[in-house]
Amino acid sequence: MAVIGKIRKHSTLVLIVIGVALLAFVLTDAFTSSGRGEIPVVGKIGDTEITQQEFEQKVNEAINNYEMQQQQPVDDKTRSQIREQVWNQLISETVLQKEYEKLGIAVTPDELFDMVQGNNPHPQIVQAFTNPQTGQFDKTRVLQFLKNKDNDPQTAQQWILFEQGIKQERLANKYTQLINKAIYATTAEAAQLNIDQNKKFNISYVVKRYNTVNDSTITVTEEEIAAYYEENKFKFKQEESRNIEYVIFRVDPSEEDFKLAEEWMLNAKEEFAQAENDSLYVTLNSDIPFDPTFYKKGQLPPILDTVFFKDSAKVGDMVGPYLEGMTYKLSKLSKIKYLPDSVKARHILIKTQNPYDSVAVSKIDSLKKAVENGADFAELAKKFSEDLGSAQEGGDLGWFGRGRMVKTFEDACFNGKPGDLKIVPSQYGLHLIKIEEQSEKTKHVQVATLADIVDPSDETYDRVFTEASEFYNSIGDAEDFDKIIEEKGYTKRIGEIKPNDFTLAGLDMPREIIRWAYTHEENEVSSPLTAGDAFVIVKVASVNEEGVAPLEKVRTQVELLAKKQKKGEQFAKEMEGITDLNQLAQKLNTTVEKANNVTFASFAIPGLGREPKLLGAIAAMNAGDVSIPLIGDIGVYVVKIDNITPAPEEFDVYTMKNQIEQAQRAQVNYAVFEALKDKVGVEDNRHKFY
C-alpha cells in the first residue's frame, strides 16, 4: 500500500499515540516541577550515583560510534544490547579503577606511544598497518595516518576511542597479571591431583533409589519441613525476580482487512502495469523493497516461474494479485537478460574506506592503464593487490557463481563480457577486475513485485482492545483472573522476569510489560498494555526479593526435599548392618551392580551419573572395605571396594602444577571482579526508565 495510504489507514491510532505521549509529557513535567528538584538516577555503583542524563549521554556516544562503524542505524534490539554494554562498562571502570589507583597501576604516555608507534605496537596496530606486499609492519604508514587523521573529524573521534580502548585493555592486563602471578600450585597439591585423577577404584554396590517409593506414602510434619528449611537455607537463595501470569490479545488482520488489501491491489494493478519505471513505482508504493536481482528458471516461486519463463513471456506480463502468507503481491516481468551462471575472473584490490580517496583512485587507475598498455595482470596483482589470498595466485579467483561476491563486484562480473577491465568499489576498497571467461548465457528475469502486508485496521484494533478491556473490567479481584480465563477459554501464559529483561515468551517488545510488573505489587492486575501488535493483561503472581526465599514461597520444594531426606534415613536404617551385598540385594529385591575405573576426580560414576557424596566416601576406602549405608542424591548405597589401582608414583609434576594453576586462573579473574562488585555495591534501577 502507498505510504500516504498507510498513514491514512492508521491516522486515528497515530492521534491516540500522540495524545498519550503529550499526556505523559504533561504529567512528567508536573511531577518534575513539583519543587523537589530530584535528579533521575538509573543506578548507584558504590558511592557514585549514575544519573539518567549521564547514562544516556554515554549510551548515545556508544550508539553513534556503532553507527559510524556499521554505516547503519541501530534497531531496538541493538540499542538494548548497547545500553547493557555501557552499564557493564561503567561498573567495570568504577570498580576496577579504584583498584588500579590503590595498587598504583597506570599506563604512562610513553607506554601509549610505544603501543601506537614504538617498538612494541599493539596487535591491532600491527594488523592495520602491515604492508600487504611484504607482510611486514610498516611504521611509516602509522606516522602518515597520525599526521592526517585530524583532517577527518570522524576518523579523529574513532582514533580517540581506539586509544582509550587499548589503554583500558593494558590496565586490565596489568591487573590480571598481578592476580595470576599470585597463583601457585605446590608439589604436594600436584601429588594429590595425581592421586585424584589416577587412583582407580573398581566397585560393587547395591542401591535403593528414591523413585522406588512414591512421595505420597511419606509424611513430613510442619516441624520437619521448617527444620529442613533452616538447615538448608543456602539451597533457596534467589535473585530478584517476579513471576507473572498474562493473557495475550493479538491484533491479527480480520477477513475484512484481507479483503481491503486485495481491493487496493486490484485497483493498483492497471497503474502498475502502465508504470514506465518499475523500480521507482515499487519503491514508492510497496511494503517490500524492489529486488533488482536477475533470476534464472527454478529460482522463483512456482507461481511466477511457470509464467515468466514461458517462451511467449514478455516484459510487462503480470501475475496476481496473489496471497503469500500475510502479504498480497502483484508481480510484473520487468526485464529479461541472457546472462552467464558463472564467471572466471581476476582482481587487484587497493584497500580504502573511502571510494573517493584520491591516492587509492590514482593507484587503481594507473594499474588499469598499465594492463591496457600490455602489462601482465597476474604480475601486477602479485605485486600490488592487498587481497593477500588471491594476490599469490596473480589475483585469480577461479570460477564462481552468483551470491559468492559482494553485489558491486558480482554485477560487474556477470553484466560484463570476457576481456573487460572494470573498476568497482566495495566495502573492502577499490577493485580492478579482469573478466576472463563466462559460462553459456541463459535467460534471466528481473521481477518487480508490488507488495501490501495486510495490517489490522483501526476497527480491528478497536475490537481487540475492547475484548481485552472487557476481560480486565470483569476482574474484581486476583482470584477472578483464572476463573474468567477458564470461562472465556483464553490461554494463560506464565513467566519469570528480571528487572532488565527484554524478552518474554510470545511477545515482541515486552519492556512495557516488564516495567509495569516492577512497579506493582503481588496479585495486582494490569489494564491492557501494549507489546508489539498485541494487547496484554498481566497479573503479578509473586514478588521474589534477592536473598533467601521465604519458606511460604518455596514450601512445595522444601516439602519434597524433606520427604527425600526422610526416605534416605528410612532406607539407610533398612540397609544397616548387612555387609554381604548379595544378601542385601536379595532383601531389597534388586541386584548387585558394578562400576569400574572410578576416580575421585570423576565427573560422574558410570551407570549412576553425578553422586559427589558417594565419590567422596569411595576415595577414603581401602580394597575389600564395605561401606555403611551412604545417603546420596539418587538413592542410598552400600559399596564394596573390589580392587584399587594405585596412582603411579612417578608423574609429571610440572604438568600437574600447570593444570591446577590454569584451572584456578580460569575462575579467579571473574571471581575477583564479582567479589569487588559485591564489596563496592551495585544498585541497578534501569528497569524504572527503560
pLDDT of residue 135: 67
Q: Is pLDDT larger for residue 638 or for residue 673?
A: 638
pLDDT beyond 90 at 334: yes
Among residues of the chain, what percentage have pLDDT more than 70? 94
Q: Is pLDDT larger for residue 13 or for residue 42?
A: 42
pLDDT of residue 32: 39
pLDDT of residue 134: 62
pLDDT beyond 70 at 237: yes
pLDDT beyond 80 at 363: yes
pLDDT beyond 50 at 582: yes
pLDDT of residue 37: 52
Report the CATH architecture of 255-339.
Answer: Roll (3.10)
Span 568-573, average pLDDT:
95
pLDDT tens digit sequence for 314-329: 999 999 899 999 999 9
pLDDT beyond 50 at 305: yes
pLDDT of residue 116: 86
Beta-carbon contacts of 435 under 8 Å, excluding residues fewer than 6 positions away, are 343, 344, 345, 412, 413, 416, 417, 418, 419, 420, 422
What's the CA gap between 536 and 543, in Å, rounded? 19
Grid cell at residue 368: 588499469
Span 643-665, average pLDDT:
92
Domain covering 342-439, topology = Chitinase A; domain 3 (3.10.50)
What's the CA gap between 631 and 528, in Å, rounded? 52
pLDDT beyond 60 at 303: yes
pLDDT beyond 90 at 31: no
Domain covering 241-252+457-545, topology = Chitinase A; domain 3 (3.10.50)
Span 207-227, average pLDDT:
93
Span 381-401, average pLDDT:
88
pLDDT tens digit sequence for 3-21: 323 333 333 333 333 233 3
pLDDT tens digit sequence for 242-271: 999 999 999 999 999 999 999 999 999 999
pLDDT of residue 461: 94
Phi, psi of 317, rounded to the nearest 5 degrees? -60, 145
DSSP string, 34-55: SS--PPPEEEEETTEEEEHHHH
Cβ(316)–Cβ(332) below 8 Å: yes
CB burial class (10 A; 0-12, 13-18, 19+) of residue 667? exposed
Q: Is pLDDT larger for residue 72 or for residue 597?
A: 597
pLDDT of residue 644: 96
pLDDT beyond 50 at 671: yes
Among residues of the chain, what percentage have pLDDT more than 90? 54
Q: Is pLDDT larger for residue 291 or for residue 685?
A: 291
pTM over 0.75: no
Q: Which of 396, 392, 391, 422 is nearest to 409 (CA)?
A: 422
pLDDT beyond 70 at 121: yes
